[in-house]
Structure 1
Amino acid sequence: MRDQARHARRTFLKRAGALGATASLTSLTSLTACGPRSTIDLGGNGADRTLTAVIGYGNDGSWDPAQTASAFAMAANNHVYEGLADTDPITRAPYPALATRLPADPDATVWRFTLRPGATFHDGRPVTADDVVFVFDRILDPATPTLARGFFASWLKEARPVDTRTVDLVLRFPFPDGIARLTLAKIMPKHVFARPGAWDDAIRGLAVGSGPYRQTGHHPKSNTTFAAYDRYNGPRRPAFPRMNWLTIVDAASRVARISGVDAGAQISDNIPYANIPRLEQGGLSVGGGAGMNNLFLMFNTAHPPFDDVRVRQALHYAIDRQKIVEVALKGHGKPASSFLNDANPAYRRAKTVYDHDPERAKALLKAAGVSGLRIDLLAVNVSWIVDCLPTIKASWDAIGVPTTLFPQETTAVFTKMDQKQDYQVVAAVSNPNQFGLDADLIMHYNYGPENLWTGYARWAGHAVAKRLFKDMDAATREPDPEKKRAMIQDYIDVVAEQAVIYPVVHNELITAWDPRRVTGIRAQPYPGINVLTARWV
């Protein structure tokens, strides 16, 4: 595990997919246990043709399933890998994947799983209990700070092999919500990823799973290709012999690739709101998914005056959120009234809601003794975020806080965070629904004593933060669902009041597809696509 720990520390940012990989196809060819990776094959006719998809996010982030928050990689990994259980991409209801069934008693503190007979990895080797234990040992190892550890360590004690096809998960206390989280522990072949340097290979794009599609080519900043795995015998069979996923971050180029008589793709995510009418007029189906996708502000609490809660609140009260929704989002969003979006089952309107109130903002700044404040707003350059920034600037200018906008590549912004460079305020995008819907998971993704985001905000040592973390842990352990929900809602009120890392608006994500060519597509409320229930028309 020491090698893994060194690797994890060295790639702290890469685990969130913030640093791009630079590996080429040739450099990865010798790494895969599946043999040489093919060049791009776009041939085929009829049902044998290639499904071409356009993803509006980079494919050069980390592909390590336990580390990544990359939208492209997470979506792809859901087709390449399996968990013991996986979840439906829309309802998020769990179903048996590598396991033959879900736990009969979700409240038990030992869950026994039997692996699917005949399940093999893409190199033909059988999936065993040792592979399952290998993955969970890595996730739970405190010396290997994977992103996934935050989703499991509080409630899962260990994974124990029973025989070659049977494994027990031993829980610290009853935790039924953990069943859905098993999809976040993608089972990886020990014989591939236990060798020295394999985790670096996984970051750069090496993917060997047991899922319905195997990766056949990976070209960072260009495309990734897949083929149906002919030995797959699981619950969601592959319908497309081949897939080619293009990474096109530029919105205009993305729309052009899916529209018009010469359209080369059948599906695209991250569609700009302004293009919806044109695409619908061209015969495409356009669907939206409203969820936790949000523009948030993060304050550097080690940089006065942002250590003062009144200043953070003032800047939130100053923002004309409704104008952002109307002008930048074209109506496809809502002002945040809690950390959670209002469709989340645990949602309750927060006690502190930042309605547009410039006079209150000025009064809070005055009470904090702040005058002459000027802000450099560091922001990621995601297209819809950039559209929102002018309203934030105008709102802060209007209360006497001149603001300069600094939109930059996402990698540049979070490299600064990782290097602990000084900053004032960051505007960025987040969507914890990539990992699941339960509020406990969402809040632990964003807040915690060892959390990535609270580290960036320099807030984990604050007395209020320490109390918050204790309240969060108590809610995790609460067995009664209604009490648990109330406890979560209560500590979300603290998060809202403190406004250290807090959403401004929640928006809708738009997917477009050609219904004359593909069916079974469902627009999801988080980045990427899922075609495990899709097929050719």
Structure 2
Amino acid sequence: MRDVTRGVSPPGRRTFLKQTGALGAAAAVCAPLSACSVGPASTIDPGSGAGGANRTLTAVIGYGNDGSWDPTQTASAFSTAANNHIYEGLLDTDPISRRPYPALATRLPADPDATTWRFTLRAGATFHDGEPVTADDVVFVFDRILDPKTQTLAKGFFASWLEDVRRIDARTVELVLKFPFPEGLSRLTLAKIMPRHVFGRPGGWDDAIRGKAIGSGPYRQTAHHPKSHTTFEAYAAYNGPRRPAFKKMNWLTIVDAAPRVARISGAGAGAQISDNIPYANIGQLQSSGLTVGGGAGMNNLFLMFNTRHRPFDDVRVRQALHYAIDTEKIVEVALKGHGKPSTSFLDEANPAYRRARTVYDHDPDRAKALLKEAGVSGLEIDLLAVNVSWIVDCLPTVKSSWDAIGVRTTLSPQETTAVFTKLDQKQDYQVVAAASNPNQFGLDPDLILRYNYGPDNLWMGYTRWATDPVARQLFKDMDRATQEPDPERKKTMIQEYVDVVAEQAVLYPVVHNELMTAWNGSLLAGIRAQPYPGINVLQAKWA
């Protein structure tokens, strides 16, 4: 048995880099790929001059491409979206419904409730270097994920229910489960199958972190230029279920809102699709003939407290700061109506949603009373925040709300890499405001909660809360819910421990918002706006 609750040391700098994809790797990635460019993304648009069916699809992604590209580790929006086009799992999931379908495997298991699942690999499947995909490659990836000595992000999605993965023959593998867990089928997309002969070499996983990507999917990576763009082309030998419709793709990374909007709008628009569209620009883009679609889901602004920094070890102080925030004003002013105040850790569209017992409606009087009860006065907060554009728009309301209850607040928005470098280096902090969206991994609430509240994961290390007695009981309750076979009982158990998460407010959403995608509908067909960062064009084509 591999015990996911086994104690591990807090993540170091390398682990953080691998796990979140938050740190840059511009200098090191050039060697295994083509030569790196150094110009800004706005000046680089290779291949866009071609016309007709051979034209290059140019996309703008509002997140950095310089994080980790290791599929077992990354939470980077850019690389996660890109990896969904480069790699395959045994099963993959539809980007909207999240229903699983056979990818490298030839079919779904006949009995999802069985404790062994046997999969046969697709005949003729090859990696982008021409080598065949084998059972050994599948075992190679799952061995890394389940290795008790290796702390990966993917481990939190698998180790609680998956015992082992075995090679039966060159094209057959068997997954052995600890107990029936049908939800695991949709999670298999998170175990992207990687070539052992490439990434099993010394330094192979470091190459993956820095941007080397060789999969069996419909698109192969042709160049990677951190902080600028990444290019792809259709893999001619791909014989899987979702054939590539674009001969070439160029994904630009443009984090700042204004140049991102400029790149997709106006007479000189060089891109056909962009995610992370600012709410203030929706009307402008629609009036220019673009289609703008939204997806509401788990995307949220959250507050994370350092529970080792007094007075944030006191739950009353954490609650007070949540009650103080005028969330309706955030929705109205910053989100232009494209969001809702959080009424649970889960968003309202999640099938397991239930309004939490503790809901932080705007109540400054209650906030003041809680601070007084905790014996706290004259509190000053330096709010460390990521500089994601919509988060920055929300921060002034947070500050004015806290100032109004006598908490003197200083806003410190910084690049995401800078914020998480400080956290990884275990520098002291008080409160962090950042964006999160576990929906990029899936919709099942067990997965979502384990992403943020797994006992050994990154976030619990940052909050310094994992050893708290309430936390330890929470982790036990999570394990019991995971193993519960009855779906309705499991749902109730999850809702009960979500109430604990709400009450404790250690890492908790302030608002859930809608993510917007814009595209040229006269050129592109089959685009579906997704409620999490990035794009998926596996079912899109030229109009």
Q: TM-score range by the shorter chain?
A: over 0.9
Please name the residue that 1:171 is paired with: 177
Structure-2-length-normalised TM-score:
0.95
1:254 and 1:127, CA in 2 relative to 1: closer, same or farther beyond 3 A? same
Residue of 74, 77, 83 corresponding to 2:80: 74
Letter in 1 for 2:379: L
Other-structure match for 2:39? none
Aligned to 1:324: 330
Which residue is equivalent to 1:29?
Answer: 33
Question: How far apart are 1:451 and its partner, in Å?
Answer: 1.6
Q: Aligned-pair RMSD on alpha carbons?
A: 1.5
Contact 1:297 1:503 in 2 (8 A): yes
2:504 corresponds to 1:498:
yes
Identity of aligned residues (%): 79
For residue 19 of structure 1, the aligned residue among 23, 28, 34 is: 23
- SS of the aligned residue for 2:427 comes to coil
Q: Which secondary structure state, in structure 2, belongs to the residue aligned with residue 505 of structure 1?
A: strand
CA distance in 1, matches of 2:475, 2:441: 20
1:11 is paired with a residue whose SS is: helix
Contact map agreement 2:17 2:68 (CA 8 A) in 1: no
The answer to whether the aligner puts 1:162 opposite 2:150 as a matched pair is: no
Find 2:473's aligned residue among 454, 467, 475: 467
Match of 1:333 among 339, 351, 367: 339
Q: Paired residue for 2:68?
A: 62
**1:392 corresponds to which residue?**
398
Give the letter aligned to residue 305 of structure 1: P
Contact 2:342–2:509 (CA<8 Å) still a contact in 1? yes
Q: 1:24, 1:220 within 8 Å by CA — same for their partners in 2?
A: no
Check the 8 A contact 2:116/2:174 in 1, yes or no: yes
Equivalent pair of 1:40/1:217 in contact (CA under 8 Å): no
1:9, distance to aligned residue in structure 2 (A): 6.8
Query: Which piece of structure 1 moves more, 5-14 or 107-116?
Result: 5-14
Q: Is 2:247 the counterpart of 1:237?
A: no
Partners of 1:294 and 1:106 lie apart in 2 by 32
Offset at 1:28? 2.3
| Superposition deviation, residue 13 in structure 1 | 3.1
Give the whole-Å Cα distance in 1 for the aligned partners of 2:513 and 2:419. Answer: 22
Distance 1:8 1:229, change over 3 A: farther
Q: 2:430 aligns with which of 405, 424, 447?
A: 424
Change (3 A) 1:55 1:18: same
Give the TM-score normalised by structure 1.
0.96
Indicate if the aligned counterparts of 1:314 and 1:365 stay in contact, CA closer than 8 A. Answer: yes
Q: Per-residue CA shift, 1:119-155, capped at 9, x if unaligned?
A: 0000111100000000000000011101000000010
User: Which of 212, 217, 229 matches 2:218?
Assistant: 212
User: Aligned equivalents of 1:7 and 1:213: distance in 2?
Assistant: 33
Do residues 282 (structure 1) and 292 (structure 2) align?
Answer: no
Q: Distance in 2 between matches of 1:116 and 1:454?
A: 39
Structure 2 counterparts to residues 373-452 of structure 1, below 5 A: 373-452=379-458
The answer to whether the Cα contact below 8 Å between 1:207 and 1:215 also exists between their aligned partners in 2 is yes
Structure 2 unaligned regions, length at least 5 = 1-8, 36-44
SS at 1:416's partner residue?
helix
> Which structure 1 segments of 5+ residues have no match?
32-38
Whole-Å separation in 2 of the counterparts to 1:310 and 1:379: 22
Change (3 A) 1:305 1:6: closer
Cross-structure match for 2:490: 484
Q: Tell whether the 8 Å contact from 1:13 to 1:414 is kept in structure 2 after alignment.
A: no
CA displacement 1:16-70 (0-9 Å, x = unmatched): 0111111466422389xxxxxxx94334220111000000001000000000000
Change (3 A) 1:6 1:399: closer
Aligned to 1:35: none
How many residue pairs match? The answer is 526
Alignment partner, residue 193 of structure 2: 187
Check conservation: 1:25, 1:217, Cα contact below 8 A.
no
Superposed CA offset, 1:420-475 (max 9, x none): 11111110110000100000000000002212111100000101000000000000
